[in-house]
Amino acid sequence: MIFMHALFLLVLLQAAPAVQGGEPLRSGCSSGDEQVASVGVAERLDVQSALAGEGQTCYHVRVLRGGETLNGYILGDSLPAIKAFIERREQISEETSEAEARRAREAKAAAPKKPGETIKSADPLVSTKFADFSARDAKGKLVSLSGLNGRVTVVTFWSPSNPRTMGQLEHVMPLYNEFHKNGLAAIGVSMDPKTDRITEALDDITLPWPQVADQAGLAARYQIDPKAGKTIVLDSAHRVVAAGPMGPEIVKAVQELMSAPENQ
């Protein structure tokens, strides 16, 4: 009898999760997906990316447990490693915004101009013609530059692995909200050829304009630095009017084009 009781306790211990009081590591981003392990607060955790989950953010993680690596998904941000991941991402976004503002101030101070004179960009793309292109967006829909029918079009090159370039997308939002009804179009070009990387990178960012993967080598063709990205303003004929980091020059170019007569 004592032997059977001890055997029963041993079975219970073997059936218990490896780490008590932790968060479920699941095979997917749904609360109904299979739990493959339990992750404790003190375990070594490598957060790969944030994804859209059911009511809360889902994080793709790697758990380093001894000589074994477990891959899976955790719902919510209760674990310290995930909180640190969020803080790092917010810090990078803030530093990027501050750096862009500083560069804009430096450029303005270094280029004095007469009253009413427009700041001229030194970017070699300015005044060139941007060729039409087409690609499937993150939802599988075929999108083309000409099909956007923009009176003015903003093209943003960005990288899913670089928060600095992703910040340019968010900074386009105020312009888009202000001028979209009057003919401003926008498109984002991910410099990663894999379309699924777009969804992973923008899981918690909602953008109303299409995002496509650069499978035709556009970034290389226009010599876009993958570490910096670039925002390009096109007129109705797809001539490049301004190019560079999202900032005062880009905003001013859009405002001037939108305020000009439509037949120009």
Residue 102 has pLDDT above 90, yes or no: no
How many whole angstroms separate alpha carbon 11 and alpha carbon 24?
21
DSSP state of 144: E
The pLDDT of residue 34 is: 92
Crossing angle of the two packed helices 248-259 and 163-179, in degrees rounded to 10: 20
pLDDT bracket for residue 116 (50, 70, 90)? very low
pLDDT bracket for residue 98 (50, 70, 90)? low
CATH class of 101-108+121-259: alpha beta
The one-letter code for the residue type at 82 is I
Average pLDDT over residues 38-59: 78
Confidence (pTM):
0.56
CB atoms near residue 74 (< 10 Å):
25
The pLDDT of residue 1 is: 46
The pLDDT of residue 142 is: 92
- CA–chain centroid gap for 130, Å, is 23
Distance of CA 238 to CAs 90, 91, 188, 253, Å? Answer: 35, 36, 15, 14
Range with the poorest average pLDDT among 56-65, 83-92, 112-121, 122-131: 112-121
CB atoms near residue 165 (< 10 Å):
28
How many whole angstroms separate alpha carbon 173 and alpha carbon 180?
10
Residues 143-192: pLDDT tens digits?
999 999 999 999 999 998 888 888 888 889 999 999 999 999 999 999 88
Cβ-defined contacts of 247-255 (< 8 Å, 24+): 247/100, 247/101, 247/103, 247/104, 247/171, 248/104, 248/108, 248/119, 249/104, 249/107, 249/119, 249/121, 250/154, 250/175, 251/175, 252/118, 252/119, 254/152, 254/154, 254/175, 254/179, 254/184
What ranges do the domains of the chain cover? 17-83, 101-108+121-259
Residues 181-236: pLDDT tens digits?
999 999 999 988 888 889 888 887 888 999 999 988 888 888 888 888 899 999 99
Q: Are 190 and 212 a contacting pair, CB within 8 Å?
A: yes
